[in-house]
Structure 1
């Protein structure tokens, strides 16, 4: 490029480049300092894109003892800044600049790139390698920011960036690799889908106070995302559209504290198969209009839903199906509006609050070691009976086992008795009748003292009946002494012989009474023995 063909502002930039000096073309008029007023800027602020390309491609040698760089402020860039496949060894720093066309860094290898508070109709950096930082702080990019397959060796700073591409990809960053932190905070907004599936962040991913808007689809599509440290979606974070973190990996903790998510017709937060090495916080004002699912997720620490508000009246508001977590704090600010699915989850410590128990639960297959608060069996049975699938045996067995592990055998038996009674409601009429008699007589075997009371009743009843109606002697040659009490006791005992039953035989209706006492004595005696055995072999 011939220097004689350069305009005065271009000549200033050309001469400043070898020493890395800054060129500021900003107007002294405060009304023309904002890039939004670029349509009113004059030729004294115009820089052709081909001039920037020439400088960045090595048209001018650096001055000895200086680091060459393009440092430009307040300019309007005319034409296409196309650095596709270029090798750029000098820094590029543009501030408060406006681009007529989207810059193209496709598969370029670049030094650090700073484009702060700039306005661009798009930015194509697919496959780009940046050996330093990529700094886009405060810029506005319409038409899509493309970083798919890019590799940034330093920080990716998009603090305060506004991405505008309604109905399309506001940020396309599939398989993006950033070795340090990624900042999408301090007023970061995106109108359109933010895509980072398969991306890798070597430090922290910060979306604090970010606002994402794509109500017709995914506001944040981050399946298989890998974050080496913490991920923050808090401090006023909001999203219109779904957040998809399926299969993502977070090496620190994941925070949605106070976040507001809205996807009324679907899943507001999909964290299925998520893996987090420490804690997950969906708490302290976290609000979701739409489902929240952690199905199959693995949380090494605590999953906290303390103070959360979950709304999905037409379906599942919270799914923890197959979740594996050390602790789940399920104490929302209000009752969950919708189904809470805990089926087949494995939780060491489950903390909840009876005041905010969901009206609808799914508990089949849920495994836990400790419940806090433990509550009485009657209260916890009210929790079990909220299961929308109706009677399922496993939740009763798990709860009874928990009580027995705490040494609360009476509560454990109460749960198992409730299990038998609730099962009876699902059976046919004949089984219901048999079950009812089992319940009344022996409490399905879980009320041995009730069986003992019936035995005492039988003993008293038989003693009175056979005192008034003495049975006949089987052998008239014998004249044994008859004792109604010992005769009845002989009938009741399933084993042993007191010498009465084999000598005396009642007739007629009294024979039926004797046989009934024998049968009931056998059944009730086994029940008492089983209860005593359980007491002696307490787990």
Structure 2
């Protein structure tokens, strides 16, 4: 059983060493607030050359056995953040060491500079990937986050689609419609936004009706075909249309990223292969 006093942690002038420390139960009054326990675990990691996840997993396991699964997930997410911070510190150190090269070394200077550029790129990609994992799936410990992200992005997409429809940036994505007499008449009436005058024609009555929500959903979900994307397209005649086209590309990319990470989180693939 773990029984301790938080004030005693500060008395450890040489730092805490919790690696290998095992316990099966924590007295209720000694659990304290989770953020304080996370600080306790982090203080045992700070400044070390190697990272050990054993103290974090030990504490999370005890929390789960006590029925506090939510707190256990918070601890594991904090553990992942600490691990990533440790990794990035090492990557940054390797980059700083590689960029201190002397141009008088000749060909070796160019090779060293290329190596430094590669390390810098690796560092930035790692930061971006870590940020995505934290925001979208809570490092794999919060599978509900992709659902929340998806709802927010689809709602935003539906709002933008509605505004785009009002601005007249959508047009039928059909060669038959675009070469029909009704469309040519609408083009003559309004060359910039012919969709609105075309909607009153006979051919429009039998065409797929535009739905901002379904268009956003169809764009966002990579494996779903609701017919909206096949029936409607964003024109780039105006600046608003060009911006709208770019936004739909971003929404589509976000759909691929969030759904892929969500599937990986549910399947437990994010944490597989970790040997820390």
Matched, 1:355 2:83: no
The structure that is helix-richer by fraction is 2
**Alpha-carbon distance between aligned partners in 2 of 1:531 and 1:375, rounded to the nearest angstrom:** 29
2:259 counterpart (525, 528, 532):
525
Question: Which residue matches 1:96?
Answer: none
Matched, 1:371 2:36: no
The structure that is strand-richer by fraction is 1
Q: Secondary structure at the match of 1:367?
A: coil
**Alpha-carbon distance between aligned partners in 1 of 2:230 and 2:67, rounded to the nearest angstrom:** 45
Task: Note the C-alpha offset of 1:405.
Answer: 2.1
Return 498-507 or 397-406, whichever deviates more: 498-507
Question: Which residue matches 2:52?
Answer: 392
Question: Which residue matches 1:472?
Answer: 171
Question: Which residue matches 1:481?
Answer: 209
Tell whether the 8 Å contact from 1:400 to 1:412 is kept in structure 2 after alignment: yes
Deviation readout 1:480-522 (Å, 9 max, x if unpaired): 1111111101122243322212333335443332222122223
Task: Note the C-alpha offset of 1:356.
Answer: 2.0
Task: Note the C-alpha offset of 1:527.
Answer: 4.9
Alignment of 1:103-122 (within 5 A): none
2:231 counterpart (503, 512, 530):
503
Q: Secondary structure at the match of 1:413?
A: helix
Runs of 4+ in 1 over 6 A off after TM superposition: 530-534
Query: Which has the bigger relative contact order, CA under 8 A and spacing at least 6?
Result: 2
Tell whether the 8 Å contact from 2:136 to 2:149 is kept in structure 1 after alignment: yes
When Rg is computed on C-alpha atoms for both structures, the one with the higher figure is: 1
**Alpha-carbon distance between aligned partners in 1 of 2:43 and 2:163, rounded to the nearest angstrom:** 54
Cα gap change, 1:526 to 1:365, in 2 (>3 Å): farther
TM-score (norm 1): 0.31
**Alpha-carbon distance between aligned partners in 2 of 1:419 and 1:410, rounded to the nearest angstrom:** 14
Task: Note the C-alpha offset of 1:421.
Answer: 1.5
Q: Secondary structure at the match of 1:505?
A: strand
Tell whether the 8 Å contact from 1:420 to 1:444 is kept in structure 2 after alignment: yes
Runs of at least 5 residues in structure 1 that lack an aligned partner in the other structure: 1-348, 535-539
**Alpha-carbon distance between aligned partners in 2 of 1:434 and 1:503, rounded to the nearest angstrom:** 35
Kindly report the root-mean-square deviation, in angstroms, between the aligned alpha carbons of the 2 structures. 2.8
Alignment of 1:106-255 (within 5 A): none
Tell whether the 8 Å contact from 2:136 to 2:261 is kept in structure 1 after alignment: no
Cα gap change, 1:532 to 1:433, in 2 (>3 Å): closer
**Alpha-carbon distance between aligned partners in 1 of 2:265 and 2:172, rounded to the nearest angstrom:** 37
Cα gap change, 1:474 to 1:526, in 2 (>3 Å): same
Deviation readout 1:21-69 (Å, 9 max, x if unpaired): xxxxxxxxxxxxxxxxxxxxxxxxxxxxxxxxxxxxxxxxxxxxxxxxx
Task: Note the C-alpha offset of 1:526.
Answer: 4.7
**Alpha-carbon distance between aligned partners in 2 of 1:474 and 1:501, rounded to the nearest angstrom:** 8
Cα gap change, 1:502 to 1:399, in 2 (>3 Å): farther
Q: Give the aligned length.
A: 186
